Amino acid sequence: MAAIDQQPILVVDDDDTIAMTLESFLVEEGYKVMVAHNGKEALERAEASSPAVILLDMKMPVMDGWAFASAYRQQDGPHAPIIVMTAAHDSRQRASEIAADGFIPKPFDLDELLALMRRYLPE
């Protein structure tokens, strides 16, 4: 299912359990995965290897989701769709604040996350 030259999925979350669980889940599903624990790391990963989609937590230390989104969009080159995963009460509002492509409230169902993510992945 996954090609060797497949673009990775960038998972950005400061919570280790969530980041690790998502990584192992997505790898299991056949995707290449990059993990970042804050916006700054995420910018570095995205620059090193252009992601296919970004799963983005909002509240993070060092650089949060808002700052990441605006910095990422100022980078050159094509920009991957951003899906906001947030434990905030109004996840939709958070997502619209950074003009995200999609959002999923935490705690999410993995199947739902997968279905949402696939909508933004190239065939």
Residues that bind another protein (CB under 8 A): 15, 17-18, 21-22, 24-25, 28, 59, 85, 87-90, 92-93, 106-111
- DSSP class of residue 103 equals E
CB of 64 to another protein, least distance (A): 12
In sequence order, the 6+-apart residues with CB closer than 8 A to the CB of 107 are 87
Smaller CB separation from another protein, 89 or 122: 89
Measured from the CB of residue 15, what is the shortest distance to another protein in angstroms?
A: 5
Type of residue found at 3: A
| 36-40 long-range contacts, CB within 8 A, separation 24+ | 36/10, 36/11, 36/12, 37/12, 37/13, 38/12, 38/14, 38/62, 38/63, 38/64, 38/68, 39/12, 39/63, 39/64, 39/65, 39/67, 39/68, 39/71, 40/68
Residue number, 18 or 33, with CB nearest to another protein: 18
By beta-carbon proximity to another protein, the closer residue of 79 and 101 is: 101
Which C-beta is closer to another protein: that of 1 or that of 78?
Answer: 1
Report in angstroms how near the CB of residue 48 gets to another protein at its nearest: 26
The least distance separating another protein from the CB of residue 77, rounded to whole angstroms, comes to 31
